[in-house]
Amino acid sequence: MHRTPGWLMSAFDRTIRPLLWDPEQILRGYVAPGDTVADIGCGAGYYAPALSKFAGPSGRLFLVDVQEDMLKRSTRRLRRASDATAQAVPVLAGDDRFDLSDELDFALMSWMLHEVERPALLWENVGEHLRPAGKALVIEPWVHVRRRRFEEEVAPARELGFATAEIDDILFCHACVATRMV
Ligand SMILES: C[S@@+](CC[C@H](N)C(=O)[O-])C[C@H]1O[C@@H](n2cnc3c(N)ncnc32)[C@H](O)[C@@H]1O
């Protein structure tokens, strides 16, 4: 399976991305002070400072990735952001699994599901960690993921009992919120 290298993600995050996508604007309203949140497939940590800022000093942020290099990059990025105050916990994931020591209020899965070989297994794993009524925000870029593929990526969530609602205001991206109902 293709894995985006860290250097490429960091370069993109420094240059083009801030022109098009504001992490705070995209994430506003999903995370409250004191929440436990996860950035699943965190990459170089483009969204990590915003997640950490919203969760605040009494919150917790799990940085989850299959690449150790990405955990280093996202941790470094958090250290540089003065208002990223949540406790940060890097977690090295296996191909189909990650284990967290706490229940999640919110999970972000940005631009990562198309790199996952078995999305159904990942959704199972997300369902095990999210609290009832907890939410996962999935974002996928049009440039890599066709509409049909996006629907296939999200279908397992519905089969597992998540309620899904499409979001249509993230530029050049498919997006949906999946809420754990059971
Ligand atoms: C294109 S990058 C996106 C990074 C970040 N979410 C963002 O929006 O900037 C995809 C990331 O997902 C990670 N990834 C791929 N498969 C994964 C899995 N099964 N579990 C956790 N992370 C995974 C990759 O290592 C890579 O860092």
Q: What is the pLDDT along the chain (182 residues), one digit of tens a residue?
A: 789 999 999 999 999 999 999 999 999 999 999 999 999 999 999 999 999 999 999 999 999 999 999 999 999 999 999 999 999 999 999 987 999 999 999 999 999 999 999 999 999 999 999 999 999 999 999 999 999 999 999 999 999 999 999 999 999 999 999 999 97
* Token reading at 181: 């109902």
**Nearest-atom index, ligand 1, CA of 139:** 8
78, β-bridge pairs: none
Domain covering 6-180, topology: Rossmann fold (3.40.50)
**Nearest-atom index, ligand 1, CA of 96:** 19
**Residue 176: which of 117, 95, 107 has the closest Cα?**
107
pTM greater than the 0.95 cutoff: yes
Position 73, amino acid: R
| Helices assigned H by DSSP within 21-146 | 23-27, 48-55, 68-80, 119-129
Place of tokens 């999200």: 154
Measured from the CB, is residue 140 less than 6 Å from ligand 1? Answer: no
* Token reading at 24: 């705070």
